[in-house]
Amino acid sequence: MNNDSGAFGAKDTFKLNEKEITIYRLSKLEEEGVCTVSSLPYSIRVLLENLLRNVDGSVVTEDDVKNLAGWVADNVPKTDIPFTPSRVILQDFTGVPAVVDIAAIRSAMERLGGNPEEINPVIPADLVIDHSIQTDCYGSCNAQECNEKYEFQRNRERYELLHWAQNAFDNFRVVPPGSGIIHQVNLENLANVVHFKEQNGELVGVPDTLVGTDSHTTMINGLAVLGWGVGGIEAEAVMLGQPYYMPIPEVVGFKLYGELQEGVTATDLVLTVVQMLREHGVVGKFVEFYGPGYRELTLTDRAILANMGPEYGATMGFCPVDDVTLDYMLMTGRSAEHVEMVKAYCMEQGLFAAADAPDPEYSSTLELDMGTVRPSLAGPKRPQDRILLEDMSSSFHQTMKDVFALKKGGEFEEDSEYSQWLEEGGYSCVEKTHEHHSGISKMKCEDNTSVLSHGSVVIASITSCTNTSNPAVLMGAGLVAKKAVERGLKVKPFVKTSLGPGSRVVTDYLEAAGLMPYLEALGFHLVGYGCLTCIGNSGPLHESISKQIEDKELTAAAVLSGNRNFEGRISPHVKANYLASPMLVVAFALAGNVDVDLTSEPIGCDPNGQPVYLEEIWPTNDEIEQYIADYVKPEMFEAEYSNVFEGTELWRELDAPKGLLYDWDADSTYIQEPPFFQDFPLDIGNMGDIKDARALVFVADSITTDHISPAGAIPPEYPAGKYLISKGVLKENFNSYGSRRGNHEVMMRGTFGNVRLKNKLVPGKEGTWTIYLPDGEEMAIYDASMKYIENDIPLIVVAGKEYGTGSSRDWAAKGTQLLGVKAVIAESYERIHRSNLVGMGVLPLQFKEGESAETLDLNGNETFSILGIPNMQPGGELQVVAKAADGNEKTFNAIVRLNSNIEVEYCRNGGILHKFLRDKAKGE
């Protein structure tokens, strides 16, 4: 290889404004006959540049480049490639355990006689603290101050750890709390699209690429930055200089044409796209948007499409660079010089998607006429279950029938018993009649707003992430509020309202536009800048509200402008959760119930008893666009991000520890040194078969990381709650599982601790319960696992399809490992969770096509032996022998869901970080 010209002779330079920029030209591969660059999807081109630039003959080889360059639409190479992102981004829920792990590796390195100073992020990492604030206070002007005060009280130990890390580690920055949400800070400020780095005396152009410890890292794809969510374990390994091994992806092209109709939002568009792509099947694939409609979308509309990549199941939804990208960079305060350099680099590299450029080839394609998109919501518990606004009432009725059927234990006839049950919940079965815009409504405008019933909206939240990056839907929400207030409408008193945007700029332009007073008049006061409701930090409902829900067994509702609505996530008291645009969040807060068709029924009545319809308070597209033009200014972004790393006075005054090694406090209930690297052997020995294991958990389809990983409130009667009480922690100071991710004692007790978990080993019961076998004693999952470990009995998990779907929670794998689980056998896996299991040394196995626990007649009471492990191969098969109590055996083969030889090595070492530490300690 010619070191001066790089692999394939691709290293070159070009000049821009007297600057000489080094580039690794993709066109060289075309000249060498390796590939036709112009036919490749833009996302594959970015990956290809990454390999080409990093060829070293060892970690990245010329064969890796050729493998990816051999990408063809109908025959994607079946091999892995080593991806080296230019940076890593973390949020604090996953960032705290990452910092704890790296600090623990430093401590272990010293114990092993190595140099702990060698343990630093090699790849630059930014940690944005945004997941810890919750909505304790709302509906008042001091709500933000109140919530931030509680935030620091609860999280001081965690924040002191992060403050220490900010000073102790090289290549590591912290964005303090109160600055905004990770994805919006990334979109508006951290992302460069192209980096221009001084390397060995040269100015090198490097496409901005990243991995993040949050599923919705994909939001940055809207800015043409290649990046997606990975497990915290994988992100830690990348930070420490390990490549991210990934299979070469198929790329699904999604063509957009036409334009959104009046009254239809980008939120409605993305909910439609989610449904279409879920039905198409894009798990493990890239999605890339293109077409005339795509070119007309604003960048913030694109960001909404990209954000919900995890909801449609793709690794990411990529939006290539074009003039819209560059305009947004200027609008958000990036320098004109940098934007000019970005354009020049992308043009030179074939990464600029000009309007007259030929469409790339794709593995498969979908098309959507945006003119067909209609106002929608999604729910009540999955983001892909779209509901047309006009069908909302009938959809909720079906939900109630499902609830009643479950209560009755099966099918039922729609009879007086069902009607009586609804009436007991305060739910009227009287048919609603009205004459739309007749001037005289037959609907009653009685004041029954203090009475809760099934479908009552008890949470209405304009929450961060998906939508608050988009001024169109936020200005729209402000205008809906303005028009509603002007008509005399009020939000029902039982609705917990909140405004939790992802950026401080949001309130800047809402205030400049004069819309904040109207939002506040309806209770949508600022509650803080953070993830909040969508992550489950909605805070407690008023005691009188939660008591009514419990006493009447109500199916209460939440409407939020986020992207996640899984069971038990938003609030333990809310069973029906709906995703919607910020504008519809305001509308349903006014309506007070989801059993309403807002396309034909009044949203409410004015003080004179006259009905008010949604279309009367809905702003036009022209109105919204004018507000954006008048009030969203680059100087707002420049001002807010000029001191983004400094933080508030509360942050600056933290009494954080100092020094190379973290001083572990044995009495801390927030931060503990994890057991992964204690008593750490340098030699791994042989990995043997798993013999006579028991099933700890036996579950059906669509078990999410919300079911597996500890999240949300900590019930005092559950093992984690009992542990905290034993440590003298009062219930009101429990905080959340997420805030205690730095303490394995809490987290392992909370694993499989979701109150809605349905473990088939304990039929008819929900929560953290299992059967200890062979005794048959019912107990908490944590207690059973400790008993199994004490008796040297290995454990497995048996599951259905889409195991581990949802957020990229490393503790879903860490907790599984600490509970003694050696393997999981599932029908299929969510991408990130499978990787996390591998990263913790838990073996992921998959039933063969057409087989499942049901077809094999397994009930979970068997003993399981998994044979052939010492000689297992990526994608190979292992034999599983399930022996029933009567001695009958069922033997079947399961697929080894390890995708590469390096993943086999990770499993043999007990995990990815374990291998890293061994290699470092041995000087390898």
pLDDT value, residue 305: 98
pLDDT value, residue 443: 44
Residue 94 CA to residue 73 CA, distance in Å, equals: 36
The model carries a pTM of: 0.86
As given in the structure block, the two tokens for residue 281 are 């099947």
pLDDT value, residue 449: 52
Residue 233 CA to residue 796 CA, distance in Å, equals: 21
- Cα distances from 559 to residues 89, 130, 368, 377, 502, in angstroms, run 29, 21, 26, 9, 18
Q: Which residues pair with 209 in a beta bridge?
A: 226
Span 212-264, pLDDT tens digits:
999 899 999 999 999 999 888 889 889 988 889 888 999 999 999 999 999 99
pLDDT above 50 for 436 = no
pLDDT value, residue 732: 87
Span 124-139, pLDDT tens digits:
999 999 998 999 999 9
pLDDT above 70 for 502 = yes
Residue 33 CA to residue 11 CA, distance in Å, equals: 17
pLDDT above 60 for 447 = no
pLDDT value, residue 411: 67
Residue 102 CA to residue 104 CA, distance in Å, equals: 5
pLDDT value, residue 567: 80
CA atoms within 13 A on the CB side of 254: 31
pLDDT above 80 for 409 = no
Span 681-712, pLDDT tens digits:
888 877 899 999 999 999 999 899 989 998 87
As given in the structure block, the two tokens for residue 106 are 């430093």
Per the CB < 8 A criterion, the answer to whether 551 and 369 are in contact is no
The whole-number average pLDDT for the span 346-351 is: 97
Q: Which residues pair with 605 in a beta bridge?
A: 611
Per-residue pLDDT band at 448 (split at 50, 70, 90): very low
Residue 552 CA to residue 265 CA, distance in Å, equals: 36
Q: What is the largest CA-CA distance in the chain?
A: 84
Residue 731 CA to residue 41 CA, distance in Å, equals: 53
Residue 35 CA to residue 51 CA, distance in Å, equals: 14
- Cα distances from 396 to residues 418, 495, 552, 777, in angstroms, run 15, 18, 18, 39
The whole-number average pLDDT for the span 312-325 is: 97
pLDDT value, residue 430: 45
- Cα distances from 170 to residues 104, 145, 165, in angstroms, run 16, 33, 9
Per-residue pLDDT band at 808 (split at 50, 70, 90): low
What value does the mean pLDDT of the chain take?
92
Per the CB < 8 A criterion, the answer to whether 284 and 831 are in contact is yes
pLDDT above 90 coverage of the chain, percent: 79
> Three-state SS string across 252-313, please?
EEEEEECCCCCCCCHHHHHHHHHHHHHHHCCCCCEEEEECHHHHHCCHHHHHHHHHCHHHHC
Residue 501 CA to residue 469 CA, distance in Å, equals: 8
Per the CB < 8 A criterion, the answer to whether 594 and 392 are in contact is yes
**β-pairing, 316-318 with 286-290?**
parallel
Residue 773 CA to residue 861 CA, distance in Å, equals: 7
Per-residue pLDDT band at 2 (split at 50, 70, 90): very low
Which string of DSSP letters, residue by residue, matches 412-450? Answer: --SSHHHHHHHHHTT---SPP---TTSSS--S-----TT
